[in-house]
Amino acid sequence: SVPIAKQLASIKALRKSSDLEKAFATAALVYNNYADPEGKLSKAETKSLLQSQFWHFIQGQENKPKYKEIISSLDEESENKINFEDFMILLVSLTLMSDLLQEIKNVKTTK
């Protein structure tokens, strides 16, 4: 598998892109690297991806009711798969409840 940084570098349109554009492109590439040929993830694959690629955002969230609800929905026995749109909504939801988000908000932006 080709490293994400190398995949990003291969996209001409991103060569002069902003940090935010690169962040979303990275999320799309990570998703695509895990997704099946139809561009979807099983719930189990989604949970695995979150645990391996989004750990610092979900760490410490285990006792929050909303986190439990999200994870239990991924544990349900179901044929349902997650598309990219649902995956991005999931990432945003987990980010908003993350303790890490508060730390990020507190980062000083001036010298």
CA pair distance 70, 75, nearest whole angstrom: 9
Residue 77 has pLDDT above 70, yes or no: no
pLDDT for residue 52: 92
Render pLDDT for 51-61 as a digit per residue (tens, 0 to 9): 999 999 998 88
Whole-prediction pTM value? 0.81
**pLDDT class for 85, splitting at 50, 70, 90?**
very high
CB-CB contact of 83 with 45 (8 Å): no
Residue 36 has pLDDT above 70, yes or no: yes
Residue 1 has pLDDT above 80, yes or no: no
Render pLDDT for 57-73 as a digit per residue (tens, 0 to 9): 998 888 888 888 888 88
Give domain limits for the chain: 1-34, 40-110
